[in-house]
Structure 1
Amino acid sequence: MTRRPIGIIVNGVTGRMGYRQHLVRSLLAIREQGGVALPDGTRIWPEPVLVGRNEAKLREVATRHGLTEWTTDLSAALARDDVEIYFDSQVTQQREKAIRQAIEAGKHVYTEKPLAEETDAALDLARVADAAGIRTGVVQDKLFLPGLRKLKRLVDGGFFGRILSVRGEFGYWVFEGDWQPAQRPSWNYRAEDGGGIVVDMFPHWHYVLEELFGPVRAVSAVIATHIPERVDEAGRGYPATADDAAYGTFELAGGIVAQLNSSWCVRVNRDELVEFQVDGTEGSAVAGLRNCKVQHRAVTPKPVWNPDLPATENFRDQWTAVPDNEEFDNGFKVQWEAFLRHVVAGEPFRWDFLAGARGVQLAELGLRSAREGRRVEVPELRR
């Protein structure tokens, strides 16, 4: 076995997503399995270089996992010849500047979303990266979730016939931080720090809708800041200036209508934290993070509306589970493996900066729709 080491800067590794999903469950998990196998028998071997602003936290993370390469100096890390990839999971406001610095250093770039705060900036990053001849990628993890992969299998197999609509519910109650600590960072609720559920979730909804059902042609959105005051990690109260709920309608190619609710102010009464119901002429499906169930046209019951009598049917029991039929690995890890093969072996990877820019565009237009109280068309982005 030939090992092909590849240095990877992991910037933002002390944050929740950077540490848990990208370092531990992706890069270190890839090392534990012996690397990423290529057809010629070579194994791609990630060599993480941890980067962040807090020296004590970086040292603690590195020590915990037996890693020796870490620094608070991004420029010094980018100057290293043994580093080929820059990965960014910082707060959004810090991302664009760091990515430009990585592009100037000639590094391939993989990043959390959103790619930038504004569409023009995201599109410019795509153009600058293309001009520099580097490979780019944006995390689109939900495409690799078991539930959505089963849903994609149904779409590809023609199960639905003509798809009519998509309805999605995402969210949970994020505690205000006073009598129970919040389970999300406080910056998420400050617009001035790049927070807001639209900029967080609409890029997700963009790639889910586009990859499974078709391009988004128009958006209508209503947003809200339901909880106006919260308490931060230090116990200090602060005004919540960012939206914490968004109610969106998305018009897709082919006449499909998608309605997606996103909220950090909702108590969960569903099987999973996110669920999508897809209805078509031949059948329907409900997919979550892991599970997917279906009801075909031929076995659809005939409910009758009668509010004067209690329901005698258990509607949930009238659906059939879609089998796994394969092993599902961690979605972040699967996309990391694909990006590493893209960089080292040139394998196709379509989730590039232009795809990321389209997600930023949908968030920007969703905010415009809410601000102006109208439907907004989504123009096609080009390099």
Structure 2
Amino acid sequence: MQSKTIGIIVNGVTGRMGYRQHLLRSLLAIREAGGLPLADGERLIPELVLVGRNEAKLADIAGRHGLTDWTTDLTAALARPDVQIYFDAQLTSARQPALAAAIAAGKHIYTEKPVAESLTGAVELARAADAAGIRHGVVADKLFLPGLRKLKRLLDGGFFGRVLSVRGEFGYWVFEGDWQPAQRPSWNYRAADGGGIVSDMFPHWHYLLEHLFGPVRTVTAHTATHLPRRWDEQGEPYDATAEDAAYGIFELAGGVVAQINSSWAVRVHRDELVEFQVDGVEGSAVAGLHHCHVQHRAATPKPVWNPDLPGGEDFRSQWQPVPDNDQFDNGFRAQWEQFLSDVVADRPHQFDLWAGARGVQLAELGLQSARDGRRLPLPELA
């Protein structure tokens, strides 16, 4: 079987997400599998150029995985004619100028989110990419995970009838960093460094709601910094200036109401770190990242409220698991494969920079809603 290569700059590979999900479990996994099978029977082999700011870390990662092409000079990497794609997993504050430079260099763009720190910046990137005639995509990893793919199957099959509401719970306790190390980097909790759970998670909720249930029309949000003091990677205390929790209500086209709580200051009492309950006239479902359970209208019990008696029903046992019916690969890898296929076929990627801009818009308006204490509409982007 014939193969061909495609050059990919991977910027931000020294970070947790860039290394674990994008390099290790996606691009290197595709290489180890012999490349991505294409429609014409060929296989596409990613040739990687690792980019970052820390020379020692880059050399260590490259050495561990048998890679030899790495640099701290992004400008030089973008000037290479043998590189077709630029991928960005840097800090949010560094992303927009790097993406703009890659677009100017004529590279196809694939990036983590948020794509920029402001809606203005995100729209500028989308317009520039369109004008350059390149293919562009934004990571929408949660839609490619087993639980959400099962939920999409239920929606496509009409299981719910008319969908009424969506309720989401996301989060876990991120340790303050004093007596136990924090599981997230300290910049996540400093507003000046682009931190905050709204800019991090609202873009996720936007593509999920838009793709599964319909466009978001309004947002009402309340934010909080529940833990105002944390300790950084060097064990030094610092003031947390970004919100660590957000409570949002999103009204969607067609009348669906979504409520999603996001928090890094919550202890988990559910099956997965994120779960969504979808209620419809004909049935309901609870979907996490891996599992999905349903209860049909005909199998719905009739609970009776009686506060004088202890509850005797095992409500969880009244739900049925949705079978896999498929083999689910890593969600990040699945979208990488879709994006690479779109680049080779020269077709638009479904989750493009405009979708990324709408996610930034939701985050920006969510923060404004929290400041103003009011519901805000989401204008369509031109």
Same fold (TM > 0.5)? yes
Report how far residue 348 of structure 1 moved: 4.4
* Residue identity opposite 2:49 in structure 1: V
Report how far residue 104 of structure 1 moved: 1.0
Cα displacement string for residues 318-353 of structure 1 (whole angstroms, at most 9, x for unaligned residues): 000000000000010010001111111224421110
What is residue 336 of structure 2 aligned with on the other side? 336
Alignment partners' CA distance in 1, 2:298 and 2:243: 43
- Please say if 1:187 is aligned against 2:181: no
Alignment partners' CA distance in 2, 1:13 and 1:190: 22
Matched residue SS, 2:90: coil
Matched residue SS, 2:84: strand
Alignment partners' CA distance in 2, 1:140 and 1:128: 21
Alignment partners' CA distance in 2, 1:144 and 1:20: 17
In structure 1, the gaps of 5 or more residues are none
What is residue 376 of structure 1 aligned with on the other side? 376
Matched residue SS, 1:110: strand
Alignment partners' CA distance in 1, 2:223 and 2:18: 28
TM-score normalised to structure 2 length = 0.99
- Please say if 1:67 is aligned against 2:91: no
Alignment partners' CA distance in 1, 2:252 and 2:129: 29
Alignment partners' CA distance in 2, 1:251 and 1:269: 27
* Residue identity opposite 1:373 in structure 2: G
Aligned Cα root-mean-square deviation (Å): 0.6
Cα displacement string for residues 136-186 of structure 1 (whole angstroms, at most 9, x for unaligned residues): 000000010100000001011110011000000000000000000000000
Q: 2:230, 2:239 within 8 Å by CA — same for their partners in 1?
A: yes
Alignment partners' CA distance in 2, 1:179 and 1:238: 15
Report how far residue 120 of structure 1 moved: 1.2
Matched residue SS, 2:160: coil
Alignment partners' CA distance in 1, 2:98 and 2:178: 34
Q: 2:230, 2:240 within 8 Å by CA — same for their partners in 1?
A: yes
Report how far residue 22 of structure 1 moved: 0.2
Moved runs in structure 1, 4+ residues, more than 6 A?
Answer: none
TM-score normalised to structure 1 length = 0.99
What is residue 352 of structure 2 aligned with on the other side? 352
- Please say if 1:260 is aligned against 2:260: yes
What is residue 111 of structure 2 aligned with on the other side? 111
Alignment partners' CA distance in 1, 2:34 and 2:278: 39
Alignment partners' CA distance in 2, 1:131 and 1:214: 28
Matched residue SS, 1:206: helix
What is residue 176 of structure 2 aligned with on the other side? 176
Cα displacement string for residues 291-335 of structure 1 (whole angstroms, at most 9, x for unaligned residues): 000000001000000011111110000000000000000010010
Cα displacement string for residues 255-304 of structure 1 (whole angstroms, at most 9, x for unaligned residues): 11000000000000000000000001000000000000000000100000
> For residues 129-208 of structure 1, what are the structure 2 equivalents within 5 Å?
129-208=129-208
What is residue 367 of structure 2 aligned with on the other side? 367
Alignment partners' CA distance in 2, 1:123 and 1:179: 42
What is residue 31 of structure 1 aligned with on the other side? 31
Alignment partners' CA distance in 2, 1:176 and 1:357: 32
> For residues 43-54 of structure 1, what are the structure 2 equivalents within 5 Å?
43-54=43-54
What is residue 318 of structure 1 aligned with on the other side? 318
Alignment partners' CA distance in 1, 2:202 and 2:177: 25
- Please say if 1:306 is aligned against 2:310: no
What is residue 21 of structure 2 aligned with on the other side? 21
Report how far residue 380 of structure 1 moved: 1.0
What is residue 102 of structure 1 aligned with on the other side? 102
Q: 2:92, 2:117 within 8 Å by CA — same for their partners in 1?
A: yes
Alignment partners' CA distance in 2, 1:77 and 1:365: 36
Q: 2:217, 2:377 within 8 Å by CA — same for their partners in 1?
A: yes
Report how far residue 2 of structure 1 moved: 1.7
Matched residue SS, 2:324: coil
Aligned residues: 382
Alignment partners' CA distance in 2, 1:357 and 1:4: 33
Alignment partners' CA distance in 2, 1:347 and 1:360: 24
In structure 2, the gaps of 5 or more residues are none
Alignment partners' CA distance in 2, 1:319 and 1:341: 38
Alignment partners' CA distance in 2, 1:39 and 1:173: 45
Report how far residue 87 of structure 1 moved: 0.3
Matched residue SS, 1:255: coil
Alignment partners' CA distance in 1, 2:120 and 2:229: 32
Alignment partners' CA distance in 2, 1:169 and 1:377: 23
Matched residue SS, 2:294: strand
Alignment partners' CA distance in 2, 1:137 and 1:47: 19
* Residue identity opposite 1:116 in structure 2: A
Alignment partners' CA distance in 2, 1:181 and 1:72: 29
Alignment partners' CA distance in 1, 2:333 and 2:263: 26
* Residue identity opposite 2:94 in structure 1: Q
* Residue identity opposite 1:316 in structure 2: R
Percentage of pairs with the same residue: 75
* Residue identity opposite 1:323 in structure 2: P
